[in-house]
Chains A and B, each alone.
Chain A
Amino acid sequence: MQRDFAIVGVMWAVLTIIGELLAIFVDFLPVVRSDKGEEIEEAFKILIYMSIPVFTFVISMLVYSVIRSSSSEFPGEDGPAMKGRGSIPVAWLAVTSGLALLVMIWPGLTGVNSLFFDDDETELVVEVEGVQWAWIFNYPEQDVSTVNELILPLDRNITFEITSSDVLHSFWVPSFLMKIDAVPGKTTEITLRPTKVGSFETDPLMRLQCAELCGLAHSKMVARVSVLEAGEFDLWAAEKAAGPLGGEPTPAAGAQQIEIVGKDILFDLDEITVESGTQVEIVFDNQDAGIFHNWAFYESRDAAESGALAIAGSPIEAGPLVQQVVFDPPEPGTYFFRCDVHPVDMTGDFTVQ
């Protein structure tokens, strides 16, 4: 039996070395872009290094036992009659308990402590609201709101105050690695610091993906995430704060009034035509109780989908209510309107003649 133990020992050692080398050179997680994400990646690697010897031990025992003696024919003789009543189970208990204690403390409890109980000073607050099926962001200090577009500054401690207005959602940016559910009637928090500049266009993991099943369009409840240099972020926020979504509507006499109804997550019009040269007043009647809509006017569908600012639009609010959007129509041509919360189902062409 000593020879068998020696062979298994060698197998175990060789497989472990191969496994650990692979683990060092394989990148398990893609580019990590937040401070807490880096801690999580570290914990993941530690667990991988620890689990490889356990895995290779069982595999060596298993594979060697099969190679040593196995047959489709009835083996004929029994035994040896090892009952496992001696010290082996006690040793097994000691080793497995030790391993469990180890992963419990490091990277487990140490990680909990640094991820959740090391309070960094918050330098930016972003309020996040999940609605079926969009993300609404509010930057209270900057007086800026966006939908499905999360713009963040590099190297600032950002606290996300997360809630939901309908069902459960979950706040997860894969490249930040942090995640927490959005729960109705409750605010949950994540604090982290982005460590790399980047955007969804170049890294598909730079997206805020709803990770908790939330019904029909769950898989499409995605917001683009961009991390900008701090100065660029401040510029963006200043520009956005002055943007059209904040303006007060004051229709002039003789404005062309268009009424549009939002009901059952659909507009009643998919085409609006106006004359150029006269002010336009859109009266948007959101009849969906408890559902967030708005009416926003864009250069084109492509412009809207690539994150360009709306030319005009109303704030995102839950129905039932009536909103007004007043603006001067641009040059004749074909434009685009949509509800920012429901960019798939609530869209239409806007023609200026």
Chain B
Amino acid sequence: MIVGIVLAVSLATAILVVGWWGYTAFRRIEHVALTRTPYPIAGGANGGNGHGVDWIPAAMPMARGLIGAAIGFGVGVGITAIGRSLAGDGAWSLEMSFAVGYVFALPGWLMGVGLFERWVPEWFGRETKPGAEGWQRFFAFTTDHKVIGVQYLVTFLLLFLVSGLFAMLIRMHLLEPEGAIFSDDGYNRVMSLHGIIMIAVAVAAIIGGFGNYFVPLMIGADDMAFPRINALSFWLVPPVAVLLLSSQAVGGWDSGWTAYPPLSVTNASGQVFFNLAIITFGLSSILGGLNFLVTIIKMRAPGMSWGRLPIFVWSMFAASILALLFTQFFAAAMLMITLDRVADMSFFNAERGGAPLLYQHIFWFYSHPAVYIFVLPGLGVTLEILAHFSRKPLFAYRWAVAGLLGIVGLSAVVWAHHMFIAGISEDLLAPFLITTEIISVPTGFVFLAALGTIWMAKLWLRTPMLFALGVIFNFLVGGITGIFLADVPTDITLSDTYFVVAHFHYTIIGGEIFALFAAIYYWLPKITGRMYNETLGKLHFWLMFIGFNATFIPMFWLGLNGMNRRIASYTPDLQDMNVVASVAGFVMGASFLIFVANMVWMVVRGPKAETNPWRARTLEWQTSSPPPEENFPSPPVVTGDPYDYGVPGAPKHGVFSPAGASGEESR
């Protein structure tokens, strides 16, 4: 035992010494690099483009973060080693050492990446360093909500494409009944990885990307309420991606994104990486939700009453309530599984008094509201775009807001509809059937607003509008098939089949990812200052729309005909329809190549975007593209409704005090 302690202490000391040496050496290199090439010139989002990209200073914050993480990890591993040696165990245990190491590595990463320079000194009454300038801001701990929005958007688009590749592999594998490319374990792991990364994309792409960029702009604020917490929320994300991908090195995990115990307590060690990733991501999500709520409540421009709030901001408000209140339950469930694994607790071990079903209650208490965290901002974007491109007021605006908030309220009392076949008390079936069916009523208000808005309108069919109209169709299919899963008698057989797979892809891809792309085509001209290619945009839409429907409609049939979810092999009678779904899936996958080409074209050759290419009334279109760091030329005052198109004598939505907005028409 003494040998163990000595070893552990010397290991920890060695790591600290090497870490410190690495850090100081690094600072010297950094100093040389910085004195050799000056920071690019300060300016807007494109500042610094003029004289090339300088990677070394740009990589500094993240490299410092990695060193901080390494030091923290060493400390955690050392502490574990001491503790384990005192208890007479071996100094190293993969899961325990890694889990404790990570607890220390995470603050190390955050300190290195920016907290230590930009935040901590203030706690002790000292000056903080100024932030990075120009191009390098996108790689640094930066407080500008627009930079953070871009950081989120780019990160999650990359994750979306990576996870989309996993989806392509899954569809390739399922071309044959016995499975074409993976081993059973390989399939289970890729399916699990695809699931959780896409869930993360669904949680954060619109909220983190467009929410961060446009909520302050749309309410006339100069930033979020807590800019540094905002930066912190983003810099919690890279460890999540690293954990999920690197988990594959220790066997990955095969329990899906739902991680039901007891499987998740007994499977490969990758599960611990997954748990830590979710807890970290949850923290990011909670901080983000809090930040949006305070921003929307406290930072609105003069005159921006609740009744004049753009519907996208309302949807962000609704989703933020859910993120703030419910995310902790997912994190708690993950913590309990981690403790079952590394600390020998037995929350979910039936033989030792635990309850496997307990997990599902805690998990779904978050994860059902979570689907509204995905979908509500998507519906907000959709209604926003429908109004601007129909050139009509948003129909039944107040009812749409009531619908969003009604969904928030009801989402807390529907979770057990995921558990109708889990072995819960039969007396729980009826109450959860009732609450779940009721939630279709507020959801219906969103359809009322959408249909009322396009009714009798002269529709301007540009790419964002095509995607928004696509959302109506897709979410209709998702919503109606949801009724079949909410009604207990039909759910009994459909639960855990491809019918469910088709349904949730219709709500999440159909309701949110289509809205994400609507938002990309709608708002990227504002962010980049350049226009995308309209023909490529429309081609992307039609390929994606047709591919998507042709992929997932066959899955309803598969579910009804005996194909259950998450299987690496299936009976041969199901092959034909699986081939249809796969081929259509490849078409959908190909549409994203067109999207990427379009984005590259936009950045390289795209024509300069006007201030207001869509002639929209809302505030973000009244400032330059891209907006200046302080967002508006002078503080805006809100004087009218955001969607008063065609209303005779309607005042502008917003005006700018003395300096004025350079004569731009606001409609």
Residue positions of A touching B, CB distance < 8 A: 1, 4, 28-30, 37, 39-40, 43-44, 47, 51, 54-55, 58-59, 61-62, 65-66, 68-85, 88-89, 92-93, 96-97, 99-101, 103-104, 107-109, 111-112, 115-117, 166-168, 170, 172, 174-175, 177-181, 183-186, 188, 204-205, 207, 209-220
Contacts and interface: CB of A to CB of B under 8 A. Distances in A.
21 contacts: A43-B490, A58-B451, A70-B461, A72-B534, A73-B460, A83-B397, A84-B396, A85-B398, A96-B444, A107-B489, A108-B433, A111-B487, A115-B492, A177-B492, A184-B262, A185-B350, A209-B562, A213-B254, A213-B256, A216-B184, A218-B568
A65 B460 contact: no
Contact of B185 (A82, A181, A216): A216
A219 B569 contact: yes
B615 interface: yes
Contacts of B392: 78-82
Contact of B460 (A28, A54, A75, A214): A75
Contacts of B480: 51, 54-55
Given A62-B473, A81-B393, A204-B573, A37 B493 contact: yes
Contact of A4 (B263, B396, B456, B561): B456
Contact of B188 (A29, A75, A80, A216): A216
B487 A167 contact: no
Name, among A79, A97, A101, the residue most crowded by chain B CB atoms within 10 Å (CB to CB): A79
Given A62-B469, A74-B615, A81-B393, A103 B441 contact: no
B256 A62 contact: no
Given A78-B645, A89-B399, A172 B184 contact: no
B184 A217 contact: yes
B157 to A, nearest CB: 26
A108 B263 contact: no
A186 B395 contact: no
B566 interface: yes
A117 B430 CA distance: 11
B577 to A, nearest CB: 13
A66 B459 CA distance: 7
Interface string B415-433: 0000001110010011001
B184 A219 contact: yes
A69 B389 CA distance: 12
Contact of B350 (A82, A184, A216): A184
Interface string B442-466: 0011011101101111111110000
**Which secondary structure characterizes the binding site on chain A?**
mixed
A178 B495 CA distance: 10
Given A78-B645, A84-B395, A204-B572, 20 more contacts: A28-B560, A30-B561, A43-B487, A62-B454, A65-B454, A71-B460, A74-B615, A82-B456, A84-B396, A92-B444, A104-B434, A109-B430, A109-B434, A168-B262, A168-B263, A178-B492, A183-B356, A185-B355, A205-B561, A216-B254
A177 B397 CA distance: 43
Nearest to A66: B459
A4 to B, nearest CB: 7
B663 interface: no
A100 B562 contact: no
A318 to B, nearest CB: 12
Given A183-B422, A215-B267, A1 B441 contact: no
B483 interface: yes
B601 interface: no
Nearest to B458: A75
Nearest to B392: A79
A89 B403 CA distance: 11
A24 to B, nearest CB: 16
B180 interface: no
Contacts of B477: 55
Nearest to A64: B455
Contact of B562 (A30, A75, A178, A186): A30
Contact of A213 (B263, B438, B455, B646): B263
Contacts of A84: 393, 395-397, 399, 448-449, 452
Given A74-B615, A205-B561, A97 B441 contact: yes
B631 to A, nearest CB: 26
A318 B624 CA distance: 71
Contacts of A92: 396, 399, 444-445, 448
A165 to B, nearest CB: 10
Contacts of B562: 30, 174-175, 204-205, 207, 209
Interface string B360-394: 00000000000000000000000000000001110
Contacts of B399: 84, 89, 92-93
Contacts of A65: 451, 454-457, 459
Interface residues of B, number: 93
Nearest to B534: A72
B561 A100 contact: no
Contacts of A212: 260, 496
B54 interface: no
B3 interface: no
A220 B188 CA distance: 13
Given A43-B490, A116-B429, A72 B462 contact: yes
A216 B262 CA distance: 14
B647 interface: yes
Contacts of B458: 69-71, 75-77
B533 to A, nearest CB: 13
B188 to A, nearest CB: 7
A79 B647 CA distance: 7
Contacts of A81: 392-393, 644-648
B344 interface: no
Contacts of A61: 451, 454-455
A276 B480 CA distance: 67
B266 interface: yes
Given A65-B457, A83-B393, A89-B445, A43 B476 contact: no
B469 A29 contact: no
Interface string B484-500: 10111110110111000
Contacts of B267: 215
B647 to A, nearest CB: 4
A321 B438 CA distance: 54
A171 to B, nearest CB: 9
A120 to B, nearest CB: 15
Contacts of A179: 421, 492-493, 495-496
Given A81-B644, A82-B456, A109-B433, A172 B391 contact: no
Contact of A80 (B350, B447, B646): B646
B591 interface: no
B491 to A, nearest CB: 9
Nearest to A166: B262
A264 to B, nearest CB: 14
Given A43-B487, A54-B480, A178-B492, A185 B395 contact: no
B592 interface: no
B92 interface: no
A115 B489 contact: yes
Contacts of B260: 167-168, 212-213
Interface in B329-358: 350-351, 355-357
B119 interface: no
